[in-house]
Structure formats: C-alpha cells, structure tokens
Amino acid sequence: MSLLPRLALRQLRSQLRTTEWRALLLATWIAITLTTLLTLLGDRLERGLLRESANLLGADLVLSSSRPLDNDRLASIATQDVQTTRVVQFPSMISDPASTETPPMLVSVRAADTPYPLRGEIVTQPVQNQALPDKGEAWVEARILEQLELEIGDLLQLGYSQFRISAELISSPDRGSGFRSFSPQLLINRSDLDASGVLAPGSRANFRLLMAGSPEQIAALEAELDPTLADYERLLSLRLDQPLTGNTLGNALAYLKLAALTALLLSALTILLSLRRFSQKQYTRSALLLNLGLNSEQLLRIYLYQLLIAWGALALLGLASAASLDSLVQGWLSTLLPQQLPDATPLAWLSGPALGLVMLILLGLPPILSLSRVPVAHLLRGDTPPQDRRARLLQISCVLLLALTLLLFLRAPIAALILLALLLVGGVLFGYIAQAILTRVAEPLARRLLLGRLLRLRLRQQRRWHRLQSAVIVLLLTLLAVVWISRADLLSEWRAKFPTDTPNYFVINIQPWQRSDLDSFMQANAIDSALYPMIRGRLNQLNGKPIRPQLTPDQLGDNTLRRELNLSWALNKPEHNELLNGSWWSSTPEQPQISVEQDMMEDLGLKLGDRLGFDIGGQQVDAEITSIRGVEWTSFRPNFYVIFSPGALESYPSTWITSFRLEGERKRLATEMLQQFPSLTLVDIDQLLSQLATWLKRLGDSSAMVLGLTLVCGLILMAVTLLQALEQRRFEAALMQTLGASGEQTRRLDLLEFLLLGLVCGLLAGLSAELTLAGLHLALLDVDPKLHPWLWVTLPALSSAFFVLTGFLIRRPLQLDQCYRLLRSQS
Amino acid sequence: MDQSTLSPTMIEAQALSKHFDTEAGRVDLFTGIDLVVTRGESLAVIGRSGAGKSTLLSLLAGLDTPSSGSVSIDGHRIETLDDRQRADLRARKISFIFQSFHLLPELTALDNVRLPLEIRGAENPKHDARQWLDEVGLGERTDHYPSQLSGGEQQRVAIARAFATRPSLLFADEPTGNLDEETGRTIIDQLFRLNAQQGTTLILITHDSELAMRCQRRLRLHNGALTEV
C-alpha cells in the first residue's frame, strides 16, 4: 500500500477510540441502514404490487371506466390488431351458504373473460391448467378462506349464485388500484356474472378493457384513445400509470420516509458536529505534516481516504443491518400484502451507501479542506485560523446540497420541505424558548440559593449547547409522544365521536324493483332506515349557460365539478340534514326544484334562485335552487350535494341506497338480508374500519421502528453535544474548584442544571405534543381535542432522567489535585 | 479562635516532598522542602522548565497533596481539612492568576470577574465585579467576551477576578508567559500596584529573572531543592 492510504488507515485506527469518530460512525451507519431499508421497501412494493408493469397491469394498456364500456369504442378497438379482454371488478359481500353463523365478508370480486390475463400469470394452489376458473367455480385468496372458514372444494355464495372454490389465489396481476387492490380478492368467470345478479345497471363497479400488442400498436392506440376519454374513464399504461402516488401503500411509504427525515437530519447534524470537532483537534497534526513536507493536496487525500475507508466499512455493515430489518418489516406486512414481494433490484441496494457517501463528503469536505490548508505557523502560534468567507460559503453550499439530496431521496419534496422547515423553525424556537425559561427560573433560585447564583452563570456559559440540546430533545419527545398517542388514540377517538345510533351498514346497488320487498324486510325486522334513490349526473350549466366560463380558476378545481355527482330526489327533507335557508317543497312542484348543500353553494358562489343544469346520461335537466342544506358528511348516512324535488328524475335509471345500524345478535339480520336479496351490496363499516385499524397498526409498527432509529440518532447526537461540551465543562469545573468551589458543589450544580434542563424540555415537549395532537384531532378527525395529563408528568420525568443519566455517565469526577494540572495543561 | 489574626506567617511548609510513581520507577520531584512565607510578602520562585515549580505552587495552595510533609495556610494545616473546608479556604483567602488567563469563553468580562464572588456568596457581586474592572481600566468593556479582548486585556480581567475576592494570598503562575514584553510589563506593574494596595501575600512563579527581581524574596527550585537567591 502506498504511503497516503497507509497513513489514512493508521490515522483512522487511532481515531476510532475518539468519541467524535465513534459518534460519526454510528450516525453514518444509521443513516445508511435507514436509507437502504426504505429504498428496498419502496422498490419492492413498487415493483411487487404496483409497477411490475405489464405483469401487474395484466396487459400493456388498460382502459378503466366507472361505467360499462361503450360498445362503439369496443368495436373500434376490435378492428385494430391487438389482443383484448374484459374485466369487471366491484365490491361485494360473500358468505358461506352452509353456515348462518359466520358473518358475510366484504371482498373485491373480479370477473374476467378469457384470455386472462394478457400479460403476467396467475399463480394458484393447487396449480390449475387454465388461466381462469371454469364456470361455477371461483378462486379466492387465503384471507377469504381464513375468515369464512372455508376450504378448497367448499361452496361460497355470491349474489344469487353459489361457486365452488377450486383453488387458492396465490398471486395475480390486474388487481385493480386503490382500496380494491387491498381487499381480499375473488376471481370468477365473467360468464357467471349475470346469473349472480350482483351487478345491475347503475351498480358501482370498475369496468376494464385489457389490451396487449406490439409497442408500436400500443403507442398508437394510446395516442388515439387518450384524447377521447370521458371523465369517468382512465388509461393505465406502463408509461402513464404511476400507481405509487395516491394510494394507501404509497402514502404509507411516504409517511415512513418523512419519519425517516428526522433521523437523517439528526445523523447529518451529528456527523457535522463530529467532523468539526475532529478537524479542530487535527489542526496541529495537519500543520506538523505540512511542516514535514506533505503538500496540501496530499493532506487532503489522506483525510479523504480516511473518510472513504470508514464509509466502505459502514456501507457493508449498513447493508447487512438493512437486510435484516427489511425481512422484519416484510414479516409484518406479509399478512396484509396480497402476494409475495419480488426481490429488490440491485440498484436499490446502492441508495443507502450512496447517500451515506454524499453525507460524508458534503459534510466532510469543508472541514478537511480547511485542515489541508492550515498554516504551518499554527505550530508556533497555536491559534486556530479564522474561517474565511470562501470556507463558510463552501460549508453553506454543502449543507444546502445535502438538504437537496435528502429531499430528492424522499421523493415528496413539498411535504419534506414543509417538514424540514417546520423542524428547523420549531427547533430554533424551542431552543430559544427553553433558554428563556431556564434563565427566568434561575433568577428566583439565585436569590435564594448560593448554587442558584452559580447556576445563573452556568446557564450563560452553556447557553449555546442548551439551545441545541433542548431543540433536539423537545422535537424528539414531541415526535415520540405524538406517534405513541395517535397510534392508540386517534382511531378509537374517531369512532367514539359518533353517536351510538350511527349506522354501521350501508346497502348499495338496490334496484328499483327490490325496493318494496326490502322495505318490508326492514319493517318486519324493525330496522330503522330510509331508502334514497341515486342517479349520476354532471353539473354543466348555471342559469342556462355553461358553468365553467362563469367560475374562477379556484372554483373550477372544486370537487363537485371534477366528477359526476350522486343526485337524489325526495319529497321530504332527510331527517339528518338541516334546512339552513329557503323552503322545502311540500308537494311535487310544477318546475323541478333542488336543495343544495351549503359548502357547494359557498364554493361555487351560488345563491337561492340560481338555476343549475345537469347532464344525466346525455340528457339535460334544469332546476332552481330553492333551499340550502347543512350536511354532516361523516354521519354514515346517505348524503347528497343536490336533492331534487319529486317528479324530475324518476324517469332516469337509478339505484337506491340506505344505511342502518345493527348490533350484537341483530347483526345476523345482515346475513339474512343478503340471503334474501343476494344481489345487494352490503358494506359492513365495522369490517372496513377494522381493516383500516389493522393498516394503521402495521403502519404504526413500521413507523415505531423508524422512530426507534430516530431516537437512537437523537441520543447519539445528545451524547455528542454533551461530549463536545465535556472538555469545556471539565475546564470550567477545574477553574471553579481552583477559585474556591468544592467538588460536591460542582456536582450539585451539574445535577441542578441537568434536572432543570430536562424539566423545561419535557414541559415544552408536552406542550408541543398537545398542540400537535389537538391539530390532528381538529384537522383530521374533527374531534374536540382533549388533554393528556400523564404526558405532562411522563415527558418531564423522562427528559430529566435522560439528561441526568447521560450527563453523569459522561461526567468524570475531577479530583482537586487534577484541577490545577488540567488548567496548566491548557496553558 | 481565628489563628490568622495572630500569626505573621502566611504559609508554612515543612519537609515537603513530592514524588510520582511511573512505569520506569519512582521520580522524586523534590524532597524535604521547608518554607515560611510571611504575611504581605512577595516571593518569586524561579527555576527551569520541569523543575516542579507549578507542582510546588499547587501544594502551597492546597490544591495537591504532598507525598510527605505538611503545609499550613494562614494557620490551617491543609492535610487536616476535607474537600469542603479546603474549598472554603480557597474561596475566602486564595486567588490565582494563570499564564493562559483561563477566562470562561462564554461569559462576559463582568461575569468572569463575578464568578469567584458568586462562589463565595458575596453580597453584591455585580457591583464589586464592575468596580474591579474599572480598577484595571476595563470599565468600558464589561460586556465583552474574552474572544473580543486582546491577550493583555484578558489578563487584566484575570487580575480583576483575582483581586475581586480581596484574597490574602495570591498565586501568579507565569502571568506574562503569553504576553509580549511591553504588555507584560504593564500587566506586572498593575499586579504589583494592586498587591501593594491590598497588602496581599504574593507568590509568583516565573523563569523571568527580571520579573523575579521585583519581588522582595527570590527562591530557586533546582534539582529538587529550594534555595534563596
């Protein structure tokens, strides 16, 4: 080995014993581990679930629509020389026909034509010869077998039909997107669909046309279809589809990455402080090496080699730890994910080490550059050369570059940027507030206690470190408390806020001819519910003219314009709506009238007397706004933006919707209802919420792990800051003892300082956690915030214990005879 | 009864020895040193680097324990005092001036001077500290931090800190070692002026024989023995 790397290796070896290098190594290791883990997870989820491109889509191009596919369009595509097949997917309840005990289960039904799929393959257990179940058969995922306690060969009930389960679905492409893709899936042949009666006109379903062909054909087809898409249609292709954004898993991953941002920032800060300390200690050595004949460039290379050697070892270590954590997370997720995740791409393994390298180089370059340029005269004068403007500029640009890299890595720049800004502003603010409180607290102490007077000076002496330490600890404790509480609290509080009579079942897709029978069933069983018709229509006119040109750009983005609305009609005002303005029709008026929801009125700037026009299945319907309603959207009852007076919409095809509450024993009525009306779609809200709860819990577990690593980062950073101040503290203690303080006095002073610092930080963290939680309650859940008194005890106790323990673990007692020697040694 | 009001002796060292045990064996720094310093006297200890001057200082100041022999400061036998009593003695009677000034960097000049006053629980530490900074000519710079002061100014703050507690015994360890000649001279003038004014007993450690000449008595530490010069 040539001289420079050898020198670097030796230097590194001897510095491994110093605390700044240990902290630096630990922080870099955690950063590499976290980055690798998150990239691995992201990569595998993307590839495995969402973007295994052709395989996942089941085709090269998919036309997805919330209405049955247009026949003309189908005919036009059929003339092109591409392979096509049709799929319908919808939510439905299935049950075990042999048991009245097991409650029905909400699943996602996929009914497909052969050939299916066009790309990728379906894996079943036992292995099947064909790609689709035969008529009368169904393939189901393991979760269905488990929950309904069924086995291969058993029958299941879907609508009016029974299906024999011929295989377990292990993995399959074309799972659909969004919540559909996460519900347990059932695959049947499309030719069985009509007989089951579950899908009637107007039913909620996703209709897909799968297409496959040569890249040129697909590109041509895509170009042709794209401009003709209706607003209820969407094209999914390898190029266009970015399914990771805007779905549950994508959000979960983004959330985890944001949680990791804190850990990465703490690591970066630790590395920055450690390197700064390292370079301060190296000035003399560098000056000596330069004096002995090395040039600046050689010196720079020695330090660079040193960083690179450390990075190489950490990269290997980080990869190993990321791999083991990855398998742990996969274990948690495996029960939730519909299929086995594929292995990560080799490139994904590189991200962690790459980010680690970028961190080390960007944070390391400024200090080692100034080390390589230290004047030899430093040996004589012994002073630290002042930082020139260029060096400071370099340091700032490096830190900015690093921030940019982190944002790019997180791939959610806006959210990350907001979080980054919040953390920075919050940190600075907490630092200063903590310091101000400490100073105020010290004043009365100083008037009463001799130690208080010393404390006042100590607080001044340590103020910079106190600011940094309190900022980090307050933010960490806030994060900890918020995650801890929201994990347990949020969902249960959200559920608890609903009145006890809140419906827990929705029935949708009720056909008009089923209405009276269903009504009788409800009455016979004393189920309190009201049926509402539902017709889809698009708002397109205001006062007889197209609405869009009459609105501001802001209003154009309103939800009510972006999609078709569910319209309804009723003679009487729904009981759970409040009439805010205008008057409700008492009978069928001559001209159609409408009642509009309050927010929609405000958002679109509408007023009573305005006329709104709707496109309903290609026909125009106009009506005058005669009343404004207040609607509680989270009431779990059918709610509508627009309700028509009777007589206006009856001629259009509609389905009906209702909701009701069943408890305890009466829940079996849901099963009975489904047996009597097999084609209805019954949505069990409790089931949905418990699915959501499982997700939140898993997410909580995964984020707890990231949070755990964040905490470790925070603790290392705290240890580094305490260590950095340690020598200064020892010097201060030596001086104080020489000036007349006793060893016991300095020990008590330390204890008082750490206790107070911990208390103040804990209280501030309690306050900031309560505020954050209150914000979450109000903004996310619309629940009145409540206080968590135990936080105000636990957090100060935790943080005081932390400061006192760390402080006293790191503190080495100073004997009197060492004091003077220590002071002399610094002469 | 307070012995200090009776005795003219400020420091009395008897048969003072200090040795260190190293891997290579025992190293005797000095053996059998006897010394009496009278109240108000100024005494210089000179000697080469490594002769043990600073160790002798820390023994005489009660900061270190001798291998054998005894030290009395103002009638108090150091070896009979516990940590707290020694601290109390230092707080009430002893001050130090160091070669490297040893000011706390995050405290202003005023707070640095205030520190020993706070340690001894003085009545009006801020006022006293300000007065002493005025005394050394730094009344306008009370809010400056050490990094904003020159070497000479820092040493003047250290002198103010040393005199602020009105000590009866002052140890100065190479007080001009880090200063240029002219500044050093000004500092020493100030030190001796205040010393005379306050009637403080001064023990000065130096290898500058010119500086030593300004003291009433000079002792040389050489080969473990202390001899009058």
Which of A742, A753, A817 to mutate to probe the B interface, most B CBs <10 Å? A742
Q: What is residue A782's predicted lDDT score, i.e. its pLDDT?
A: 66
Record the tokens describing residue A132, joined without a space. Answer: 């689709």
Residue A335: CB atoms within 10 Å: 10
A798: closest CA among A500, A528, A474?
Answer: A474
Distance CA A768, CA A488 (A): 19
Residues in B touching A442 (Cβ below 8 Å): none
Q: Tell me how far the alpha carbon of residue A791 is from its chain's centroid.
A: 25
Residue B107 contacts A, CB cutoff 8 Å: yes
Shortest Cα distance, chain A CAs vs residue B44, angstroms: 18
pLDDT (tens digit, 9 = 90+) per residue, A606-625?
999 999 999 887 789 999 99
Record the tokens describing residue A437, joined without a space. Answer: 């409180």
Residues in B touching A457 (Cβ below 8 Å): 107, 111, 114-115, 118
Q: What is residue A770's predicted lDDT score, i.e. its pLDDT?
A: 92
pLDDT (tens digit, 9 = 90+) per residue, B137-168?
999 999 999 988 988 899 999 999 999 999 99
Shortest Cα distance, chain B CAs vs residue A367, angstroms: 22
Q: Tell me how far the alpha carbon of residue A545 is from its chain's centroid.
A: 42
Distance CA A514, CA A149 (A): 31
Q: In 3-state terms, what secondary structure has residue A41?
A: helix
pLDDT (tens digit, 9 = 90+) per residue, B39-52?
999 999 998 888 88
Q: What is residue A56's predicted lDDT score, i.e. its pLDDT?
A: 61
CB contact under 8 A, B88 and A741: no
Contact assessment for residue A29 and residue A317, using Cβ atoms and an 8 Å cutoff: yes
Q: What is residue A177's predicted lDDT score, i.e. its pLDDT?
A: 58
Task: Give yes or no for residue B217 having a pLDDT over 90.
Answer: yes
Q: What is residue A314's predicted lDDT score, i.e. its pLDDT?
A: 94
Minimum-distance CB partner of A738 among B63, B118, B177: B63
Residue B88 contacts A, CB cutoff 8 Å: yes
% pLDDT > 70, chain B: 97
Shortest Cα distance, chain A CAs vs residue B33, angstroms: 19
Residues in A touching B173 (Cβ below 8 Å): 824
Ordered DSSP codes for A309-331: HHHHHHHHHHHHHHHHHHHHHHH
Record the tokens describing residue A691, joined without a space. Answer: 């699915």
Contact assessment for residue A150 and residue A176, using Cβ atoms and an 8 Å cutoff: no
CB contact under 8 A, B106 and A464: yes
Q: In 3-state terms, what secondary structure has residue A812?
A: coil
Residues in A touching B65 (Cβ below 8 Å): 817
Secondary-structure class of domain B3-228 per CATH: alpha beta
Shortest Cα distance, chain A CAs vs residue B136, angstroms: 20
Shortest Cα distance, chain B CAs vs residue A450, angstroms: 6
Residue A571 DSSP label? S
Residue A637 DSSP label? S
Residue B97 contacts A, CB cutoff 8 Å: no
Distance CA A429, CA B178 (A): 41
Q: What is residue B84's predicted lDDT score, i.e. its pLDDT?
A: 84
Distance CA A476, CA A478 (A): 5
Residue A585, phi then psi, degrees to nearest 5: -70, 145
Shortest Cα distance, chain A CAs vs residue B96, angstroms: 8
Residues in A touching B175 (Cβ below 8 Å): none
Q: Which residue of chain B has the CA closest to A823?
A: B102
Residues in B touching A453 (Cβ below 8 Å): 118, 121, 125
Contact assessment for residue B65 and residue B3, using Cβ atoms and an 8 Å cutoff: no
Residues in B touching A743 (Cβ below 8 Å): 83, 87
| Residues ≥6 apart with Cβ < 8 Å to A344 | A39, A40, A43, A44, A47
Q: What is residue A97's predicted lDDT score, i.e. its pLDDT?
A: 86
pLDDT (tens digit, 9 = 90+) per residue, B7-45?
789 999 999 999 888 888 888 888 889 999 999 999 999
Ordered DSSP codes for A497-557: TS-TT---EEEEEE-GGGHHHHHHHHHHTT-----EEEEEEEEEEETTEESGGGS-HHHHT
The pairing of strands B9-22 and A565-569 is: unpaired
Q: Which residues of A touch B (CB under 8 A)?
A: 450, 453-454, 456-457, 460-464, 728, 731-732, 735-745, 816-817, 819-821, 823-824, 826-827
Q: What is residue A54's predicted lDDT score, i.e. its pLDDT?
A: 44
Q: Which residue of chain A has the CA closest to B145?
A: A461
Contact assessment for residue A699 and residue A253, using Cβ atoms and an 8 Å cutoff: no
Which of B19, B56, B58 to mutate to probe the A interface, most A CBs <10 Å? B58
B5 class by beta-carbon count within 10 Å (0-12 exposed, 13-18 middle, 19+ buried):
exposed
Residues in B touching A380 (Cβ below 8 Å): none
Shortest Cα distance, chain A CAs vs residue B137, angstroms: 23
Task: Give yes or no for residue B129 having a pLDDT over 90.
Answer: yes
pLDDT (tens digit, 9 = 90+) per residue, A626-685?
999 998 876 778 888 999 999 888 888 788 888 888 888 888 888 788 778 877 777 777
Contact assessment for residue B184 and residue B154, using Cβ atoms and an 8 Å cutoff: no
Residues present in chain A in total: 827
Shortest Cα distance, chain A CAs vs residue B161, angstroms: 10
CB contact under 8 A, B116 and A739: yes
Q: Chain B 156-195, CB below 8 Å of chain A: which residues?
A: 161, 165, 173-174, 177-178
Q: What's the mean per-residue pLDDT of chain B?
A: 88
CB contact under 8 A, B63 and A741: no
Size of interface A-B (CB pairs under 8 A): 95
CB contact under 8 A, B83 and A740: no
Distance CA A90, CA A109 (A): 5
Shortest Cα distance, chain B CAs vs residue A464, angstroms: 9
CA angle B137, B140, B143 (to 5 degrees): 115
Record the tokens describing residue A558, joined without a space. Answer: 């309103």
CB contact under 8 A, A816 and B88: no
Q: What is residue A495's predicted lDDT score, i.e. its pLDDT?
A: 63
Distance CA A210, CA A54 (A): 11
Residues in B touching A450 (Cβ below 8 Å): 118, 121
- The domain locations on chain A are 1-51+247-411, 53-237, 434-497+684-827, 529-660
Residue B102 contacts A, CB cutoff 8 Å: yes
Record the tokens describing residue A346, joined without a space. Answer: 């080799």
CB contact under 8 A, B83 and A742: yes
Shortest Cα distance, chain A CAs vs residue B115, angstroms: 7
Minimum-distance CB partner of A457 among B87, B91, B111: B111
Record the tokens describing residue A501, joined without a space. Answer: 């009579």
Which of A381, A819, A820, A821 to mutate to probe the B interface, most B CBs <10 Å? A820
Instruction: Give the residue ranges of chain A where pLDDT is below 50.
Output: 50-54, 240-247, 338
B196: closest CA among B206, B207, B188, B186?
Answer: B188
Contact assessment for residue A722 and residue A806, using Cβ atoms and an 8 Å cutoff: yes
CB contact under 8 A, A819 and B88: no
Q: What is residue A784's predicted lDDT score, i.e. its pLDDT?
A: 75
